[in-house]
């Protein structure tokens, strides 16, 4: 039956070439538009190296404080080392907790006697290399002893290694960062700016340069990423964090300030919805908005496509009548027409999906642009875009588009009077 | 025993403005194995009668009994299964599906029969194509065949499901006399050799004379 269905669909494709081509282009365009919107969101939440652990990550990119006696006065931003260690360093439930700069900062790199290279710099601790799964091409990451002793060691990405040393085998080599000598501990594969907290060109122990603390040394320039053993632990980790904050607030009460949590730390999806440090993101509203956009992007072309589907059915009315005469039930006819259309929609969906991937590669600069200090443009890799979830969504959208565009014409065709259909009335 | 029995069948076509009585008080009984032709002038209700016998249309009133089964109150799925098992249709314009080859066209009724594998369907379709002398054309498209060959394919399609009754609506109407004679010979063989009941609408007196009995209609009424 499936063989017959495919054969019949191919025969239809051949016999109504113009209509089929327009239908395929229309459906492909629709899936293309939706998949571009999906990808814009997916790159923020889907796992890919070195953020393969995103489903198990919790983020505290910012913290919020308020004046104890005047809660209307707030301060929001990254935190100091002391705050990070007090609130997060004591967590017992997670697999790992890393403290690092919440944003990269510009740095000038130079091999003495050579031209300087502008790059992005991020200070981190040693746990950073556990939470994120970087691929080391040469050398290895710095360790706890290096961080504790404020050692001037660095991990650099492959492009930076080539720019500075002309080779990616740069472990052990020295360079100047903002005129301070550093030694390369390791070289990693380049990281896209889309990998948010993992992105940089150079990573050094955050202890090796001034972090610029403020507000009684409670705030600073650091953030925290937590790697849970399982997403099921998220609530327990948040509860433990709340207890740590309460305890810490007692310690710092003399400052007149206290921390408020705003339900932090956030999982990947919620963190992707953050628009300001002083607002708790509403990821459910964001999800609703996305699905409304998907619905609009599906319904509008579906209405147009249903007209074309009906036109295709009208040309086949005699055939449908003959099928009914020879024992095809209304339900079978409906299923056949629906399946035929689904095959065409899946073919269109595949074209649309591949086109969206091609588009994302070609126009990644403006599609995924991020505001980073050195103006680094995002690069895209196939594993960022080709995710089981995006593929699943593409198939789902094909089903919905097919349902919306073919249900009514197929239902109408299946209800047609057999004699009228055979006589093309 | 009658394999087809119509009692007091009336058929009225209604539009907003016009009411047309296509059949009026028609009573027909056709015995198993009979070859019957239906004749009458254009617009007298021959095709309407054949469509009602073939369960493609429903009478406005009256009863239709085929092979002991009353058609009234049959649900769509039951009626479709009944048509598939008991009835084969041959149309004046062949109504072959042009996008499919001959073999696929002949297999069509078998697609809707439960429990048949793909190879069984193909074997059965090849068998009936062999019978109508078109096995060498099975991978051709209908557009590559002559009118007579198309009608033989249509007969093969009607035979594929091995129905007891074949309903033919002017099967030679679009054919020249030689091809028409070939088709009539084939229908005659299906009746005489297989014992199939055949009901044929025709305008052709010579062909009608080859059948066992002629039912004549005039303005929707059965005339003797």
Could B99 and A14 be called an inter-chain contact, meaning their C-beta atoms sit closer than 8 Å?
A: yes
For A217-231, the pLDDT digits (tens) are 899 999 999 999 999
Q: How far is B190 from chain A (nearest CA, A)?
A: 19
Q: Which two tokens stand for residue B31?
A: 């015995």
How sure is the predictor about A2, in pLDDT bands with cuts at 50, 70 and 90?
confident
Nearest Cα residue in chain B from A17: B99
Q: Which two tokens stand for residue A37?
A: 């919107």
Could B99 and A15 be called an inter-chain contact, meaning their C-beta atoms sit closer than 8 Å?
A: yes
Whole-number Cα distances in Å, A345 to A7, A143, A158, A297, A419: 16, 53, 42, 15, 30
CA-nearest of A94, A156, A92, A95 to A124 is A156
Residue from the list A8, A318, A327 with its beta carbon closest to the beta carbon of B109: A327
When divided into structural domains, chain B yields a total of 1
Mutate to test the interface with B, among A14, A327, A425 (most CBs of B within 10 A): A327
CA distance A292 to A298: 10
Give A419's contacts in chain B (Cβ within 8 Å). Answer: 51, 56-57
Q: Which two tokens stand for residue A279?
A: 């607002």
Overall pTM > 0.90: no
- Structure confidence at residue A371 (pLDDT): 58
Residue from the list B89, B95, B99 with its beta carbon closest to the beta carbon of A12: B99
Domain positions in chain A: 2-49+284-422, 63-263
Answer yes or no: are the C-beta atoms of B33 and B191 closer than 8 Å. Answer: yes
Print the domain residue range for B139.
2-223
Nearest Cα residue in chain B from A418: B56
Q: How many CB pairs under 8 A join A and B?
A: 74
pLDDT in tens, chain B (224 residues): 799 999 999 999 988 888 899 999 999 999 999 999 999 999 899 999 999 999 999 999 999 999 888 888 788 899 999 999 999 999 989 999 988 899 999 999 999 998 888 899 999 999 999 989 999 999 999 999 999 999 999 999 999 999 999 999 999 888 888 888 988 999 999 999 999 999 999 999 999 999 999 999 999 998 86
Residues 168-207 of B with CB under 8 A from A: none
Give B111's contacts in chain A (Cβ within 8 Å). Answer: 1, 4, 328
Could B89 and A331 be called an inter-chain contact, meaning their C-beta atoms sit closer than 8 Å?
A: no
Give A3's contacts in chain B (Cβ within 8 Å). Answer: 118
Q: How far is B52 from chain A (nearest CA, A)?
A: 10
Give A321's contacts in chain B (Cβ within 8 Å). Answer: 95
- For residue A184, pLDDT beyond 80: yes
Residue from the list A325, A329, A419 with its beta carbon closest to the beta carbon of B76: A329
Whole-number Cα distances in Å, A412 to A300, A420, B176, B205: 20, 13, 38, 41
- For residue A377, pLDDT beyond 80: no
- Structure confidence at residue A12 (pLDDT): 75
For A283-293, the pLDDT digits (tens) are 999 999 999 99
Mind spelling out the 3-state secondary structure of chain A? CHHHHHHHHHHHHHHCHHHHHHHHHHHHHHHHHHHHHHHHHHHHHCCCCCCCCHHHEEEECCEEEEECCCCCCEEEECECHHHHHHHHHCCCCCCEEEEEECCCEEEEEECCCCCCEEEEEEEECCCHHHHCCCCEEEECCCCHHHHHCCCCEEEEEHHHHHHHHCCCCCCCCEEEECCEEEEEEEEECCCCHHHHHHCCCEEEEHHHCCCCCECCCCECCEEEEEECCCHHHHHHHHHHHHHHHHHHHHHCHHHCEEEECCCCCEEHHHHHCCCCCCCCCCHHHHHHHHHHHHHHHHHHHHHHHHHHHHHHHHHCHHHHHHHHHCCCCHHHHHHHHHHHHHHHHHHHHHHHHHHHHHHHHHCHHHHCCCCCCCCCCCCCCHHHHCCHHHHHHHHHHHHHHHHHHHHHHHHHHHHCCHHHHHCCC
How sure is the predictor about A399, in pLDDT bands with cuts at 50, 70 and 90?
confident
B86 near A CB under 8 A: no
**Cis preceding-peptide flag for A50 (omega within 30 of 0):** yes
Q: How far is B119 from chain A (nearest CA, A)?
A: 11
List residues of chain A with CB under 8 Å from any CB of chain B: 1, 3-4, 7-8, 11-12, 14-15, 318-319, 321-332, 417-419, 422
Residue from the list A319, A330, A331 with its beta carbon closest to the beta carbon of B97: A319
- Structure confidence at residue A414 (pLDDT): 87
Could A327 and B80 be called an inter-chain contact, meaning their C-beta atoms sit closer than 8 Å?
A: yes
B115 Cβ contact list (under 8 Å, min separation 6)? none
Q: Is the dihedral of CA A20, A26, A29, A35 positive or negative?
A: negative
Q: How far is A344 from chain B (nearest CA, A)?
A: 16
- The DSSP code for B223 is E
Could A419 and B111 be called an inter-chain contact, meaning their C-beta atoms sit closer than 8 Å?
A: no
Residue B131 maps to which CATH number? 3.40.50.300
For A31-81, the pLDDT digits (tens) are 899 899 888 888 899 999 999 999 999 999 999 999 999 989 999 999 999
Name the region of A283 (left: φ>0; alpha: ψ -120 to 50; beta: rest): alpha
- Structure confidence at residue B199 (pLDDT): 96
Name the region of A150 (left: φ>0; alpha: ψ -120 to 50; beta: rest): left
Could A329 and B54 be called an inter-chain contact, meaning their C-beta atoms sit closer than 8 Å?
A: no
Could A328 and B111 be called an inter-chain contact, meaning their C-beta atoms sit closer than 8 Å?
A: yes
């Amino acid at each position: 039956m499936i063989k017959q269905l495919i054969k019949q669909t191919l025969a239809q494709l051949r016999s109504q070439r113009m209509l089929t081509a327009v239908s395929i282009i229309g459906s492909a365009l629709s899936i293309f538009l939706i998949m571009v919107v999906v990808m814009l969101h997916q790159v923020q939440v889907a796992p890919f190296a070195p953020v393969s652990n995103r489903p198990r990550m919790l983020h505290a990119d910012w913290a919020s404080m308020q004046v104890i006696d005047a809660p209307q006065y707030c301060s929001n931003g990254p935190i100091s080392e002391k705050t990070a260690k007090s609130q997060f360093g004591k967590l017992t439930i997670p697999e790992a907790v890393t403290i690092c700069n919440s944003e990269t900062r510009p740095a000038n790199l130079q091999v003495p006697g050579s031209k300087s290279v502008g790059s992005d710099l991020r200070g981190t601790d040693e746990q950073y290399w556990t939470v994120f799964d970087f691929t080391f091409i040469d050398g290895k990451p710095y360790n706890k002893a290096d961080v504790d002793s404020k050692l001037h060691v660095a991990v650099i990405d492959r492009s930076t290694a080539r720019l500075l040393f002309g080779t990616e085998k740069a472990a052990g080599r020295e360079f100047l960062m903002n005129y301070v000598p550093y030694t390369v501990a390791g070289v990693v594969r380049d990281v896209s700016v889309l990998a948010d907290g993992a992105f940089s060109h150079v990573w050094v122990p955050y202890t090796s340069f001034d972090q610029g603390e403020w507000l009684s040394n409670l705030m600073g320039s650091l953030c925290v990423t937590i790697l849970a053993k399982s997403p099921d632990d998220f609530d327990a980790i948040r509860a433990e964090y709340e207890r740590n904050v309460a305890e810490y607030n007692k310690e710092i009460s003399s400052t007149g300030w206290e921390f408020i949590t705003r339900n932090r730390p956030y999982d990947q999806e919620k963190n992707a919805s953050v628009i300001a440090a002083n607002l708790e993101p509403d990821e459910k509203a964001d999800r609703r908005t996305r699905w409304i956009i998907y619905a609009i992007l599906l319904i509008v072309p579906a209405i147009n496509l249903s007209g074309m589907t009906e036109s295709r059915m009208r040309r086949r009315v005699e055939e449908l009548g003959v099928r009914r005469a020879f024992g095809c039930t209304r339900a079978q006819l409906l299923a056949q027409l629906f399946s035929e259309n689904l095959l065409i929609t899946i073919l269109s969906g595949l074209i649309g999906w591949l086109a969206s991937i091609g588009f994302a590669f070609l126009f990644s600069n403006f599609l995924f642009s991020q505001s980073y200090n050195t103006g680094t443009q995002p690069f895209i890799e196939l594993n960022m875009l080709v995710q089981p979830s995006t593929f699943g969504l593409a198939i789902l959208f094909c089903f919905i588009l097919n349902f919306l565009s073919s249900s009514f014409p197929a239902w109408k065709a299946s209800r047609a009077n057999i004699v009228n259909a055979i006589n093309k009335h | 025993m009658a394999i087809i029995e119509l009692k007091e069948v009336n058929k009225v076509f209604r539009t907003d403005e016009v009411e047309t009585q296509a059949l009026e008080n028609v009573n027909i009984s056709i015995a198993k194995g009979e070859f019957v032709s239906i004749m009458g002038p254009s617009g007298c209700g021959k095709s309407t009668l054949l469509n009602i016998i073939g369960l493609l249309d429903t009478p406005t009133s009256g009863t239709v009994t085929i092979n002991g089964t009353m058609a009234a109150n049959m649900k769509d799925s039951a009626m479709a299964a009944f048509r598939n098992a008991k009835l084969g249709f041959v149309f004046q314009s062949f109504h072959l599906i042009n996008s499919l080859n001959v073999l696929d066209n002949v297999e069509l009724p078998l697609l809707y029969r439960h429990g048949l594998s793909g190879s069984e369907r193909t074997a059965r379709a090849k068998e009936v194509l062999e019978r109508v002398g078109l096995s060498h054309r099975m991978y051709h498209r209908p557009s590559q065949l002559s009118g007579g060959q198309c009608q033989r394919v249509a007969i093969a399609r009607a035979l594929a499901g091995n129905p007891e009754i074949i309903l033919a609506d002017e099967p030679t109407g679009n054919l020249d006399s030689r091809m028409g004679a070939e088709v009539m010979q084939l229908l005659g063989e299906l009746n005489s050799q297989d014992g199939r009941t055949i009901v044929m609408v025709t305008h052709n007196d010579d062909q009608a004379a080859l059948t066992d009995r002629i039912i004549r209609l005039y303005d929707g009424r059965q005339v003797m």
